[in-house]
Amino acid sequence: MNIQDLIRPTIKALKPYSSARDEFQGNDDVMVFLDANENPFQNGVNRYPDPQQRALKSILTEIKGVSENHILLGNGSDEVLDLIFRAFCEPNVDNIITLPPTYGMYSVLAHINAIQIKEVALNEDFQPNTKAILDAQNKNSKLLFICSPNNPTANDIDAGKIETLIKTFKGIVIVDEAYIDFSKQESWVSRLVEFPNLIVTQTLSKAYGMAGIRLGICYASAEIISVLNRIKPPYNVNALTQQRAIEQLTNKEIVKNQIDAVLKERDILISELRAIPFVSKIYPSHANFVLIKVDDATKRYHELIEKGIIIRNRTTQYGCENCLRLTVGTKEENAKLIRALSSISKS
Ligand SMILES: *Cc1c(COP(=O)(O)O)cnc(C)c1O
């Protein structure tokens, strides 16, 4: 597969903006920087951040075992996904394939970028229909989005099916691993070298507990990363985000303990949900949330709001009629949810 053939002609021809910090990197203590029209009085954030986030990437390199030229960082996964659209999808010409029910941002970004969406539904077990997906693609199908574990269904997507799709889809396959740290499945990051058309996205928003700093991570071949680097806003990851991410990634024990705690609480929550009469189905979860089917999702959703508990009503999503998505909270929060559900069921 020739990745160059998939890139938009405008992007291939683009001469990227060269920022002051791209042109010269050096030690703040010994050099005098008069090149970026910054305010010279030090306050911790008066300088532009490193556009290549070198310190942060070097930590990720150790943790994930990938070299820096295979990593691009963004202002949340949302920015990373948007960059992928802008690199590969020609507005009003190209299309993408999504597998509903899945994460809503893929289709929102497609609409923003004027890209047609071909939806190929997951089957009853929320697994992809590989044949239907390959039948749906045409010469303008640039991206295929696979979310594993999938949101809102919470299940892992079968690794064998993902591999088949990466090998046979004629465009770029994006495996969104926002919830991978909760799953027993191996990350596709370890298989990047085998597949030039594979992009893996991760985030610090979920298991790492840093939704507020907005840090999305994209792993791909050096060829794809260099294209995305050309089009990203020069200073897209701010200095405070880089700092806090470095601190949290260095705290491996805290993150691991929190993941273990959430998984333990998830299993307790699932066993308690079984005793709620109007819960008719609890879908298998490999993430930090649970999808359940109830008698009347909209009614139950509003009853919980009355009790001060906000969950997500997913009833309008394909294949999710009367389904609610519950994020696993702390022990106390989950207990409050279960108490509310029991009292609703008795009223
Ligand atoms: C939460 C989530 C993300 C994370 O997005 P950020 O912009 O990094 O916060 C990405 N993909 C999926 C499927 C998610 O559920």
211 lines ligand 1 (CB under 6 A): yes
Residues 203, 211: Cα–Cα separation, whole Å: 8
pLDDT surpassing 80 at residue 128: yes
Q: How many Cα atoms occupy the beta-carbon half-sphere of 39 within 13 Å? A: 6
CB-based contacts of 136, cutoff 8 Å, min separation 6: 97, 118, 120
178 lines ligand 1 (CB under 6 A): yes
Q: Give the phi and the psi of residue 343 in degrees, each rounded to 5.
A: -70, -35
pLDDT in tens, 133-158: 999 999 999 999 999 999 999 999 99
Task: Please give the average per-residue pLDDT across 24-35, as a whole number.
Answer: 83
Structural domains in the chain, CATH included, are 3-250 (3.40.640.10), 253-346 (3.90.1150.10)
Residue with tokens 């002051």: 20
249 lines ligand 1 (CB under 6 A): no
205 lines ligand 1 (CB under 6 A): yes
Query: What distance in angstroms lies between residue 177's CA and the mean position of ligand 1's atoms?
Result: 9
242 lines ligand 1 (CB under 6 A): no
Q: So what's the pLDDT on residue 18? A: 85
Q: So what's the pLDDT on residue 20? A: 85
pLDDT in tens, 204-239: 999 999 999 999 999 999 999 999 999 999 999 999
CB-based contacts of 78, cutoff 8 Å, min separation 6: 105, 109, 216
Q: What confidence tier does 17 reach under pLDDT thresholds 50, 70, 90?
A: confident
Rounded to 5°, the CA angle 145-75-149 comes to 35
pLDDT in tens, 49-90: 999 999 999 999 999 999 999 999 999 999 999 999 999 999
163 lines ligand 1 (CB under 6 A): no
Ligand 1 atom at shortest distance from the alpha carbon of 205 = 9
Q: Which of 73, 103, 156, 290 to mutate to test the pocket of ligand 1 (most atoms within 8 A of CB)?
A: 103
Buried b (16+ CB within 10 A) or exposed e, 47-86: bbbbbbbeebbeebeeebebebebbbbbbbbbbbbbbbbb
pLDDT surpassing 80 at residue 29: no
176 lines ligand 1 (CB under 6 A): yes
**Whether the Cβ atoms of residue 102 and residue 325 lie closer than 8 Å to each other:** no
Q: Which of 99, 105, 157 to mutate to test the pocket of ligand 1 (most atoms within 8 A of CB)?
A: 105
Q: What count of other Cβ atoms lies within 10 Å of the Cβ of residue 160?
A: 9
**Whether the Cβ atoms of residue 129 and residue 121 lie closer than 8 Å to each other:** yes
Sign for the CA dihedral angle at 194, 198, 203, 207 comes to: negative
Q: What confidence tier does 19 reach under pLDDT thresholds 50, 70, 90?
A: confident
Q: Which of 145, 206, 291 to mutate to test the pocket of ligand 1 (most atoms within 8 A of CB)?
A: 206
Q: So what's the pLDDT on residue 98? A: 98
Q: Give the phi and the psi of residue 168 in degrees, each rounded to 5.
A: -110, -20
Rounded to 5°, the CA angle 52-206-198 comes to 55
Distance of CA 242 to the CA centre of its chain: 18
Q: So what's the pLDDT on residue 25? A: 79
